[in-house]
Structure 1
Amino acid sequence: MMIPEGLFDQVLAPGMVPNSRPTQTSRLPFPTVTPDIPKVHHQYSTEVGHKTLWVVCVVMGVSSLVFYVMAMRVPVQKRLLHTITAFITTIAFLSYYAMATGTGIDIHTTVIRETKLHVITEIVKRQVFWARYVDWALTTPLLLLDLSLLAGINGASILVLMFSDLVMILSGLFAAFSRDGPQGWGWYAFACLAYLNVIYQLGYKGRHAVSTKDNKTKMFFGAISLFTLVLWTLYPIVWGVADGARVVNVDGEIIAYAILDILAKPVFGFWLLLTHDSMARTSPSIGGFWAHGLSSEGTLRVGDPHDEA
């Protein structure tokens, strides 16, 4: 008996064509794991903060012009404090112009929550005004130089004072751009330690240096240095509740720093220069190269007959 060809295959696998292959749809997909998307908190400034930046920019610009005019009204020997103070507000003007126009701003991401397996579950994207730190790195040493010259602090102490101030500002900048909270607070601690040395140099060394001057200068230095240190103590507090703990929003941060900057620069400058001009007899006076340039005595001149001999 002959079995028709292919009948055995149909019996074994009814409904299937011999040598047929499974279709693509018959394959089961591999299981996949969808990663958790971290929750993002956006913290940006609004129109209120933007207008505040422009207001402070104008205040710094007008103050700079006034300080330059005040400098031209006094003898060049008495002009050093005027020049330094005008430089302070000029740099601040450029800084606020950069922030108001969106140039000196960056968006920084900070991890605020992650699992034990280092899976990030919550982050914050907050505006960081890095132009402000450039401003402080240049203006605060000049401001300290104003006070140092007023008190008569020696050069070695001035150098240590400025270096400590620079460490303080740079540590604050690194803290603002830190990856997470512990790293940021570590840099914040370094900044506070550097500030303690600023207080020591200006408060202790400054008062010791000014003790040899007249009573009016001693009283003025004591008042304006205390005013400065109180204001400067508020800066790290604002940083702690703004960039650090993010309790205050970006607009609140802008307004707080704006008030402090106006008090610490234009108000400080007007107080310093007006009092300095009223104490013309006892205020710092610098001659030599500052007032008269290089002297021709002792310089090498081309074609001097003595050289040919």
Structure 2
Amino acid sequence: MIVSPDMMKSASKATSSVSPLPTVVPTPPTFIHKGDTGSRTLWVVVVLMAVSSLAFYGMAFRVPVQKRLFHIITAFITTFAFLSYFAMAVGDGISYASYTHTESHKHVPDVDHVIYRQIYWARYVDWSVTTPLLLLDLALLAGLSGANILVAIVADIIMILTGLFGAFGQGNDNAKWGWYAWGCIAYLVIVYQLAIGGRDTVAKKDSKTKAFYGSIAGFTLILWTIYPIIWGVSEGAHIISVDAEIVAYAVLDILAKPVFGFWLLFTHDSMSSTSPSVEGFWANGFGESGTLRVGDDNEA
């Protein structure tokens, strides 16, 4: 077959009229992690938790061993928080959770961006230990029964674990927010135990204790209500940066632990008539007879 110049021109025109097919170049994954602000914030909290722990242990030695219950519990709270923040500050207790962000286009296929965000699982280990101890402080102050204390602590642990599971959710928003919903339900159980059960039991105590419990329990519940909001805009919806997440949680943790602890101990020490006394084995060992007694004590 002989190809004439006219045929070659026609073929060239036909070929040039076809536009090239669009191609999608895969994008590398994006890693979201803390910056200088987050690092400095973690170290500041490490120092504050360490100083607070030493102060609480020092305050414990200023009172008889039978009256150190609140002091030791509160000191344990900031001690565990110190260990958790130290781990996060040095780069331990951290992992990454991945999620996909889809970028839509009109004329080309959608592009999926894989994003890896830092998750501080050491923070959840801290909360799983410190928040039950904090609840124990409030429960003993109000005089809650053992059954009520157990329900509150179990609900608290469920709340922390569901937050952890939701934070590590892999690409399934329904499951993530399902964990969040279960955590909120568990939190409502805690609110009921402190606000309703605690109010009923503390009503049997003197007016100073009632007023103090109402103030410090209300303060704690307000702070704890902010935690799930921060979770929702950080680990949940990924709206704020990791640095902003660290700063927000740090402020809440400082208020909920050292500030709470100093308020509790200074006020409690001034109310000697309501100081709980722990006698028997817990104070003197097996060599002394006695029982565990936590309640009103009229001794100085």
**By how many angstroms is 1:114 displaced?**
9.4
Mapping of residues 7-46 of structure 1, within 5 Å: 37=26, 40-46=29-35
Give distance in 2, aligned partners of 1:74 and 1:294.
22
Do the aligned residues in 2 keep the contact of 1:231 with 1:260 (CA within 8 Å)?
yes
Aligned residues: 261
User: What residue ranges of structure 1 are gaps of 5+ in the alignment?
Assistant: 1-33, 298-309
Displacement of 1:35 in angstroms is 8.7
Query: Which entry has the higher C-alpha Rg, 1 or 2?
Result: 1
**SS of aligned partner of 1:281:** helix
Match of 1:159 in 2: 150
Identity of aligned residues (%): 59
Contact 2:43/2:86, CA 8 A, preserved across alignment: yes
Quick one: which of 225, 231, 236 aligns to 1:233? 225
* Cα deviation 1:126-178 (Å, max 9, x = unaligned): 00000000000000000000000001000001000000000000000000100
SS of the aligned residue for 2:91 comes to coil
Is 1:93 paired with 2:85?
no
Letter of the aligned partner of 2:97 in structure 1?
Answer: H
Alignment deviations for residues 204-244 of structure 1 (CA, whole Å, 9 cap, x no partner): 00111101000000000000000000000000000101111
Choose from 26, 46, 50 the match for 1:57.
Answer: 46
Number of the residue aligned with 1:77: 66
CA–CA distance in structure 1, aligned partners of residues 114 and 189 of structure 2: 35
In the TM superposition, residue 50 of structure 1 has moved relative to its aligned partner by 0.3
TM score, norm. by length of structure 1:
0.81
What is the one-letter code of the residue matched to 1:108?
A
Q: 2:244 matched to 1:243?
A: no
2:114 paired with 1:127 = no
Q: Structure 1 CA distance, aligned partners of 2:287 and 2:177? A: 53
* Mapped contact 1:36–1:121 kept (Cα < 8 A): no
1:273 CA displacement: 0.3
Are the equivalent residues in 2 in contact too, given 1:111–1:120 (CA < 8 A)?
Answer: no
Residue of structure 2 equivalent to 1:147: 138
Where has structure 1 moved over 2 Å in runs of 4 or more?
A: 34-42, 111-115
Separation in structure 1 between the aligned mates of residue 273 and residue 86 of structure 2, nearest angstrom: 38
Please list every run of 5 or more consecutive structure 2 residues that lacks an aligned counterpart in the other structure.
Answer: 1-22, 105-109, 290-300
Normalised by the size of structure 2, how large is the TM-score?
0.83
For the residues of structure 1 that align with 2:167 and 2:203, how far apart are their CA atoms?
39
Contact 1:39 1:121 survives alignment (8 Å): no
